[in-house]
Amino acid sequence: MSNIPQFLRMCGLIFRRFVQTATEVISMFGLGKPRSPVAMWLDAKGKSQRWLAEQANISEDTATRICSDVSYNPGNTTKKKILSVVREYDRDKKHDDFWPM
């Protein structure tokens, strides 16, 4: 009978470690962060921010800002570059789908 409390204590330790590890993984990969409409489109297509930066010929910093900051409004030249890449995959996408007028 004395092994049961030990077993339960061990299960509790394992569970706590699992939860801590899961939390670390979530924070490491940025899961749960707010995502912009451009980022959600990239996620749906299985594309990365780096891919967007290369295809649209914009810096990776700009791509990161566009994807992570919902209120960020890039310049018109950058918007045109991004939309040209997006329209290669979704011809129906418009400016309003990503940035409010």
Q: Tell me, what CATH number does 78's domain have?
A: 1.10.260.40
Alpha helices by DSSP H, listed for the chain, are 3-29, 37-45, 49-56, 60-68, 76-87, 95-98
The amino acid that residue 42 corresponds to is L
Reported pTM: 0.66
Instruction: Please state, in angstroms and rounded to a whole number, the distance separating the CA atoms of residues 30 and 53.
Output: 19
**60 and 90 assigned to the same domain:** yes
Structural domain harbouring 13: 1-32
CA-closest candidate to residue 45, choices 88, 77, 95? 88
The alpha carbon of residue 64 and the mean position of all alpha carbons in its chain are separated, in whole angstroms, by: 9
Instruction: Please state, in angstroms and rounded to a whole number, the distance separating the CA atoms of residues 97 and 101.
Output: 10
9-60 tens-digit pLDDT: 766 656 566 555 555 555 555 566 678 999 989 988 889 999 999 999 999 9
**16 and 3 assigned to the same domain:** yes
**62 and 84 assigned to the same domain:** yes
Task: Give the chain's domain count.
Answer: 2
Instruction: Please state, in angstroms and rounded to a whole number, the distance separating the CA atoms of residues 51 and 63.
Output: 9
